[in-house]
């Protein structure tokens, strides 16, 4: 287990260094996804399988898809040459190597049988759920309010103002 932990930690630190030093946003996003996946592996090595699954589903799935959508919307004038540039191996070879290390870890834990019996120090998802809806039920309600506020705020900010009068259209976008 400790070997899995250290390899995942190394991959996480390397991928995070690459995130903050890239100049291309798409390359940085690829490295950020690899970093989140390796942090999920760290969670599993720490004995938190439920949180590891949530990290992959919500962070690396939902939030990163949001980022990718915004990156695609920010430069909508992508030409064929830029697409070909993105498919060059310089862009994806680094994240692919780091992800291959994580996949190797996965095969090691599946075939090697080290995780075939769960670690004794593991905290079960049932325990997490009972605590979440037991003493922390007020926090769950507050989180729902926070998500509702974020939904309304994001909708208001991202709305396209209907430009009724062309002359005043710049002032109509006053919410920006």
Partner 1 sequence: MTTAPVEHGLLLAAMLFGLGLLGVLVRRNLLFLLMSVEIMLNAAGLAFVAAGSRWQQPDGQVMFLFILTMAAAEVAVGLALILCLHRCGKTIDADAASKMRG
Measured from the CB atom, is 2 or 166 closer to partner 1?
Answer: 2
Six-digit token pair at 84?
């070909």
Tokens 């095969």: give the residue: 107
CA dihedral 57, 151, 29, 78 (to 10 degrees): 130
Tell me if 158 contacts partner 1 by CB under 8 A.
Answer: yes
Q: Which residues between 26 and 85 bind partner 1 (CB under 8 A)?
A: 28-29, 32, 35-36, 39, 42-43, 45-48, 50-51, 54-55, 58-59, 62-63, 66-67, 70-71, 73-74
Q: Where are the alpha helices (DSSP H) in 22-117?
A: 25-45, 49-54, 64-74, 80-86, 89-112
Containing 60, the helix (H) or strand (E) segment is none
108 binds partner 1 (CB under 8 A): no
Q: Which residues of 5-41 are buried (b: 16+ CB within 10 A; e: fewer)?
A: eebbeebbebbbebbeebeeeebbbbbbbbbbbbbbb
Give the footprint of partner 1 on residues 122-151 (CB under 8 A): 122-123, 127-128, 130-132, 136, 139, 143, 146-147, 149-151
Residues of the shown chain interacting with partner 1 in the complex, contacts defined by CB under 8 A: 1-2, 5-6, 9, 12-13, 16-17, 19-20, 25, 28-29, 32, 35-36, 39, 42-43, 45-48, 50-51, 54-55, 58-59, 62-63, 66-67, 70-71, 73-74, 114, 117, 119-123, 127-128, 130-132, 136, 139, 143, 146-147, 149-151, 153-155, 157-158, 173-176
């Amino acid at each position: 287990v400790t070997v899995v932990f250290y390899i995942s930690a190394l991959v996480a630190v390397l991928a995070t260094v690459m995130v903050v030093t890239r100049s291309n946003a798409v390359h940085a996003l690829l490295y950020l996804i690899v970093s989140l996946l390796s942090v999920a592996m760290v969670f599993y090595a720490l004995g938190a399988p439920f949180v590891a699954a949530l990290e992959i589903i919500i962070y690396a799935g939902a939030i990163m898809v949001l980022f990718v959508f915004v990156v695609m919307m920010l430069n909508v004038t992508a030409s064929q040459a830029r697409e070909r540039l993105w498919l060059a191996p310089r862009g994806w070879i680094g994240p692919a190597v780091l992800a291959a290390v994580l996949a190797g870890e996965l095969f090691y834990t599946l075939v090697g049988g080290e995780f075939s019996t769960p670690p004794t120090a593991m905290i079960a998802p049932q325990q997490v759920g009972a605590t979440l809806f037991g003493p922390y039920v007020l926090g769950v309600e507050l989180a729902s309010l926070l998500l509702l506020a974020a939904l309304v705020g994001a909708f208001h900010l991202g709305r396209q103002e209907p430009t009724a009068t062309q002359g005043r259209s710049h002032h109509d976008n006053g919410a920006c």
